[in-house]
Amino acid sequence: MMKFLKQVGDYAKETVQAAKYIGQGLSVTFDHMSRRPVTVQYPYEKLIPSERYRGRIHFEFDKCIACEVCVRVCPINLPVVDWEMNKSVKKKQLKSYSIDFGVCIFCGNCVEYCPTNCLSMTEEYELATFDRHELNYDNVALGRLPYKVTNDPMVTPLREFAYLPKGTLDPHDLPKGSQRPGRRPEEIAEELKAAAAKKEAANADAAE
């Protein structure tokens, strides 16, 4: 009899607990309702991609030495490097270069390993086409620079969360000149420069 009562009690306890958890969950959802939407009204508003955004790859034809490192570090050997040996100068001469962005995973390995820095990542991400073969960019298409969001008169550029001033959650209607918290890369570079100059001066003093 006691065992049965204990079972009933445990069951009731579990039920109350379940109800409590559902109540907690409801309060979470309810709380979310009063938060501001995070919506970016896309074609009219666009987020400014961060500095390290890995978008479409940019390629500079004249810098390329046709070493094919990009092909070797690519997970699927994607870049197509067409070159021929120029006997007179004993150098490889690049004829054409292409990357198929329908297959590329934008890992950025090629950019990282390129010895002459002829590859770079852009902030372009709107690559939609009607035919996937149009995504196979040749060296001309790869050499085009993307249009910046901040220069587009049709688009309201919005800053990403990490680039908003401290305590701000809404990228709309920021006061002019507001900056993200922390030091900006230029400031850090300047400080480092100043520190280096100081150290040099100290060294020079010591040498005397």
Given 9, 10, 22, 84, the residue binding other proteins (CB under 8 A): 22
Q: Quick check: 88 binds other proteins (CB under 8 A)?
A: no
Nearest distance, CB of residue 24 and other proteins, angstroms: 9
Cα distance between residue 154 and residue 145, in whole Å: 19
Q: Please, which residues bridge with residue 45 across strands?
A: 156
Q: Quick check: 195 binds other proteins (CB under 8 A)?
A: no
Cα distance between residue 142 and residue 40, in whole Å: 29
String of contacts with other proteins for each residue 23-52, x by CB under 8 A: --xx-xxx-xx-xxxxx-------------
Question: Which listed range, 18-26, 95-103, 143-151, 189-197, lies at the site for other proteins (CB under 8 A)?
Answer: 18-26
Nearest distance, CB of residue 15 and other proteins, angstroms: 8
Q: Quick check: 7 binds other proteins (CB under 8 A)?
A: no
Containing 197, the helix (H) or strand (E) segment is helix 185-207
The phi and psi torsions of 103 (rounded to 5 degrees) equal -115, -25
Q: Which of 39/88 has CB closer to other proteins?
A: 39
Question: Who's near 162: CB < 8 A, 6+ residues apart?
Answer: 50, 180
Nearest distance, CB of residue 169 and other proteins, angstroms: 10
Q: Which of 145/162 has CB closer to other proteins?
A: 162
Q: Residues 119, 111: contact at Cβ < 8 Å?
A: yes
* SS3 at position 153: coil
Print burial letters for 113-124: b (CB count within 10 Å at least 16), e (below 16). Answer: ebeeebbebbbb
Q: Which of 11/61 has CB closer to other proteins?
A: 11
Nearest distance, CB of residue 43 and other proteins, angstroms: 13
> Which whole-number Å values give the CA distances from 61 to 15, 95, 118, 139, 146, in the listed order?
69, 9, 7, 7, 17
Q: Which of 33/89 has CB closer to other proteins?
A: 33
Q: Which of 18/107 has CB closer to other proteins?
A: 18
Q: Which of 21/147 has CB closer to other proteins?
A: 21
The position carrying tokens 């100081």 is 198
Q: Quick check: 166 binds other proteins (CB under 8 A)?
A: no
Contact positions toward other proteins, by CB under 8 A?
Answer: 15, 22, 25-26, 28-30, 32-33, 35-39
